[in-house]
């Protein structure tokens, strides 16, 4: 949905549903002041959000957040941002819980918090989708409408997409298949460590923030394994990670990203010609 079409009423409803699951309806939650008229465009109140917009080598990628937390974890975010399809905006929940590593004695507590955060995110986003609020679940329709589904000639390359957010994974798969690639799907870093195979996979596109094993952990295991270290890996994350932690990645995409940035790195790492726009740039430099 274009940002000019998103009004205060939509955001207020989205925040009410967030409150319902994140805090079980308790009064500890305080909504930002978005005015009295639900018909006002949300663009009038973007100063109420924290802006995490950044500029890649060609254009801005817009992201606006509210740090609302939940009853167990105060860092969870409500997010309004672009992702994959340029100029189209969605609501999403960023659990923001891959930023810490606990000691062995704390691992059970961390796992419990992450499990709760994942459940909260899933429940909120499912309700938003049922209420026809703009979510990443609508990405498939948008990609089809914007003709990103135009089929190119098969490239005889298979890309393994690893992301526990099924809507995002679906969208990435559609873009890649439209560009002539075969796609296999997994949903956790531990599965990628188990299944990644240089005989089948020409590339891996992997999210960082996942449940059982995050992308950085999976990447470290894969790059230590001689048969599989040559598979190029694009790591995607919402975090501003230090360069030292990304040395195993062949390229790094900051979430949210546009489809042309994704394809720039895919074609570059596979030694393929950039078919749509040879000047298009990625969100971060490859290693």
Strand partners, 67: 77
All residues at 6 or more sequence positions from 152 whose CB lies less than 8 Å from its CB, including other chains: 178, 179, 180, 275
Domain ranges of the chain: 3-136, 147-269
Question: What phi and psi, each to the nearest 5 degrees, are found at residue 101?
Answer: -125, 125
Say how far residue 109 (Cα) sits from the centre of its chain: 25
The share of the chain scoring above pLDDT 70, in percent, equals: 86
Q: What is the pLDDT of residue 29?
A: 64
With cut-offs at 50, 70 and 90, classify the pLDDT of residue 276. very low
3-state secondary structure of 165: coil
CATH fold label, 147-269: Rossmann fold (3.40.50)
Mean residue pLDDT of the chain comes to 85
Over 60: is that where the pLDDT of 102 sits? no
Long-range contacts formed by 72-80: CB under 8 A, 24+ apart: 72/113, 72/116, 72/117, 73/97, 73/113, 73/116, 73/117, 75/99, 76/22, 76/117, 76/120, 76/121, 78/14, 78/15, 78/18, 80/3, 80/6, 80/11, 80/42, 80/49
Q: 91 versus 240: which is more confidently predicted?
A: 91
Q: Which pTM was predicted?
A: 0.79
Express each pLDDT in 148-170 by its tens digit.
Answer: 556 778 889 999 999 988 888 99
Nearest to 178 by CA among 140, 150, 144: 150
Over 60: is that where the pLDDT of 117 sits? yes
**Could you give the C-alpha distances from 236 to 62, 201, 248, 252, 254, in angstroms and in order?**
16, 18, 13, 6, 6
Between the ranges 16-30, 162-176, 236-250, 263-277, where is the mean pLDDT highest?
162-176
Tokens coding 257 = 């990203």
Strands 63-67 and 77-83: what pairing?
antiparallel
């Amino acid at each position: 949905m274009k940002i000019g079409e998103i009004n205060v009423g939509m955001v207020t409803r989205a925040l009410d549903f967030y409150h319902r699951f994140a805090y079980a309806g308790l009064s500890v939650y305080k909504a930002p002041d978005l005015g009295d008229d639900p018909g006002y465009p949300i663009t009038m109140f973007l100063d109420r959000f924290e802006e995490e917009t950044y500029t890649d080598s060609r254009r801005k990628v817009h992201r606006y957040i509210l740090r609302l937390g939940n009853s167990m974890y105060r860092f969870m975010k409500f997010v309004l941002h672009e992702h994959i399809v340029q100029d189209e905006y969605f609501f999403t929940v960023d659990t923001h819980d891959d930023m810490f590593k606990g000691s062995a004695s704390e691992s059970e507590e961390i796992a419990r918090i992450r499990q709760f955060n994942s459940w909260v995110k899933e429940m909120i986003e499912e309700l938003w989708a049922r209420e026809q609020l703009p979510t990443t679940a609508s990405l498939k329709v948008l990609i089809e409408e914007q003709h990103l589904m135009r089929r190119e000639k098969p490239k005889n390359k298979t890309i393994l997409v690893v992301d526990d957010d099924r809507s995002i994974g679906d969208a990435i798969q559609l873009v890649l298949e439209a560009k002539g690639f075969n796609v296999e799907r997994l949903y956790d870093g531990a599965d990628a460590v188990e299944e990644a195979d240089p005989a089948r996979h020409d590339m891996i596109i992997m999210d960082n923030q996942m449940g059982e094993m995050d992308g950085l952990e999976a990447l470290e295991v894969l790059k230590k394994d001689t048969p599989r270290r040559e598979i190029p890996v694009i790591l995607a994350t919402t975090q501003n990670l230090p360069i030292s932690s990304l040395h195993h990645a062949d390229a790094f995409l900051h979430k949210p990203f546009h489809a042309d940035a994704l394809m720039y790195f895919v074609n570059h790492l596979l030694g393929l010609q950039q078919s749509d726009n040879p000047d298009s740039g990625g969100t971060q430099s490859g290693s």
